[in-house]
Amino acid sequence: PARGPGDLIEIFRPAYQHWALYLGDGYIINVTPVATLASAKSVFSRKARVRMQLLKDVVGNDTYHINNKYDSTYPPLPVEEIIRRAEYLIDQEVSYDLLGNNCEHFVTLLRYGEGVSDQVTHLLAVLREPPDQGTACKLHGHSKAPGAKKAIGAIGFVTAAAGAFSLLGLLHSRSRERQY
């Protein structure tokens, strides 16, 4: 389907999905890590900058698709309101938190007025399951191995995600700083 202003764009990175919101004319809005003296020392950053960029530059060699997956749960705000809210935040610094305030939370808050992230919900559900139960992974439609294999798989996913985000300077704890 054709992209339209206010659409959510899911970008498939090697270890995670990055999310952006389509503004129109080839441009998106997304959050990117802020390099500060403190984050340079620790690799962990607590802030992100809201940036307007060309979709093709953000995607690079990765793949993407339009994914307004929450439209049946949360009614989208009017497109004009989504774009107005997005444009207001361009070049602003916002708090960032992998589990509670990430790039998917950011764009869903703009589109729906509600920040949600299936990636986080799914990961937390896997980690909460008893280790001896084999259950189907709802997000990807495959079976999780029971017991130790499932725990190792979840730990591996967390490690890969944490490594990817820390390399980008995105992983950090919740902050009391300005929220969007």
Which amino acids are annotated catalytic?
18, 103
What Å distances lie between residue 157 and 86, 96, 100, 161, CA to CA?
A: 31, 20, 17, 6
DSSP-assigned beta bridge partners for residue 50? 31
Residues 53 and 32: their CA atoms lie apart, in Å, by 11
Amino acid letter, 29: I
Contacts of 34 (CB under 8 A, 6+ apart): 45, 47, 48, 49, 93, 169
Structure tokens belonging to residue 3: 């992209």
Of 45, 18, 20, 42, which Cα lies nearest the Cα of 34?
45
Nearest to 94 by CA among 137, 45, 138: 45
